[in-house]
Amino acid sequence: MNIEEIREDFPLLKRIENGKKITYLDNAATSLKPKQVIEAVTHYYEKECANVHRGLHLLSEEASIKYEESHEKVAKFVGSKKEEVVLTKNTTEGMNLVMYSLLNSDFFKKGDKIVVSGMEHHSNIVPWQFLERKHGVNLEYVELLDNFEVDMDDLKEKVKGAKLVSFSGASNTVATTPDLKKVEKIVHGEGALLCIDGAQLVPHHNVNFKSLNADFLAFSGHKMLAPTGTGALIAKKEHLEKFEPFLFGGDMIQEVELHKSTWNSLPYKFEAGTPNIAGSYGLCAAIDYIKKVGYKTIDRQEKLLTKLCIEEMEKIPSVEMYCPKDVNKQGGIVMFESKKLAAHELAMTLSEMENICIRSGMHCAEPLVSKINKEGLARASFYFYNTEEEVHKFISALKETISLLG
């Protein structure tokens, strides 16, 4: 598929506002959705709308089959077993599921250590802070080097005695992608569990859970073409069998008596209540779409655009970037600031003037971003449907905005 063909599938790219197209460069926040995904969701609501696992009628059976198939599809997509796929609403829920399941299973004792890196999203900080505050667990941060890569020597030191290491597979701010093979060896070498925040990893890289050999991998469907409210936690079967559930209620049980219950088989033990059934239809369609495009095309296009954007930004004297300039060391994100204009003002003006959508602020990674600039930074992030023309349009609007207001 070429990029022009691909763009035909995304209705939002055809939207005209004030006579101008939308230039969407906020893909790290959420991706646009192709018509195949929108149609899959509509198909559920129009043709097969019923609850799953609860009815013997036609609609419920159809929806249940499709919902169960979505676990299989995700499993094949990330190279895991079907029982290892817990559908969630996003990465954040996946991280909380890990935290609460470990907590409910008395995995942590007072004084135990959890290690994260210095570039984490709030969803990989705040759940562990809760354990720190309520249960006396210590949270430690691995330092970043000057080029924003994770300091592996510091990881080797901090991992000593840790029970869990939770790392982002790709940063949503400074864009670096740690060498997860090395991280896995170091972490498991010390006997700690490894949790990977895959929110910015899975949409852009072909991930195989088995060879990654992490204990947990959380990601969001909505950042990879699927509807909002979709995501998955992939967890080693041995852990899901052993650990207590996070949410309790309908569907996650096998038998309920007045004072005790037994749990459903995997992965449903971890999926309480009515799930996002429509979302699971959309998630299947999104996976089909990504497979059709292929990670080679995704990677090629993202690298092309990121390289172009970095090269063009380097020519703007008042702009400073906070991400690796080598596109092989980063994940399609250009984090930057203008020394002349606050990030929020820049983002607002680009939107008002040219319908260009970029993000500004703390990017849910306040400890890191506020250290660089207390007022926040600006971010352009790419996906495979973006074009070189869009990058040029963004760069020339950026130059114009800075010269007008800066």
Among residues 32, 29, 87, the alpha carbon closest in space to that of 225 is found at: 32
Report how far residue 40's alpha carbon sits from residue 361's, in angstroms, rounded to the nearest whole number. Answer: 34
Among residues 152, 194, 210, the alpha carbon closest in space to that of 176 is found at: 152
Interface with ligand PMP in residues 62-91 (CB under 6 A): 90-91
101 vs 168 by CB, closer to ligand PMP: 168
Choice from 66, 121, 204, 269 touching ligand PMP (CB under 6 A): 121
Report how far residue 312's alpha carbon sits from residue 308's, in angstroms, rounded to the nearest whole number. Answer: 6
Choice from 70, 92, 177, 306 touching ligand PMP (CB under 6 A): 92
306 binds ligand PMP (CB under 6 A): no
- 8 Å CB contact between 20 and 355: yes
Q: What are the DSSP calls for 307-324, one per residue?
A: HHHHHHHHT-TTEEE-S-
**At closest approach, how far in Å is the CB of 64 from ligand PMP?**
26
**At closest approach, how far in Å is the CB of 335 from ligand PMP?**
12
**Which pair of tokens denotes residue 76?**
């094949």
123 binds ligand PMP (CB under 6 A): yes
Tell me the catalytic residues. 364
**At closest approach, how far in Å is the CB of 27 from ligand PMP?**
10
Query: Which residue blocks in 105-204 are alpha helix, DSSP H?
Result: 126-135, 152-158, 180-189
**At closest approach, how far in Å is the CB of 29 from ligand PMP?**
6
Interface with ligand PMP in residues 170-229 (CB under 6 A): 172, 197, 199-200, 220
**At closest approach, how far in Å is the CB of 241 from ligand PMP?**
26
126 vs 316 by CB, closer to ligand PMP: 126
- In one letter, which amino acid is 353? M
23 binds ligand PMP (CB under 6 A): no
Interface with ligand PMP in residues 328-387 (CB under 6 A): 364
3-state secondary structure of 379: strand
Q: In what order do the strands lie in the sheet with 377-381?
A: 319-321, 333-338, 377-381, 359-361
Binding site for ligand PMP (CB under 6 A): 28-29, 90-92, 121, 123, 168, 172, 197, 199-200, 220, 364
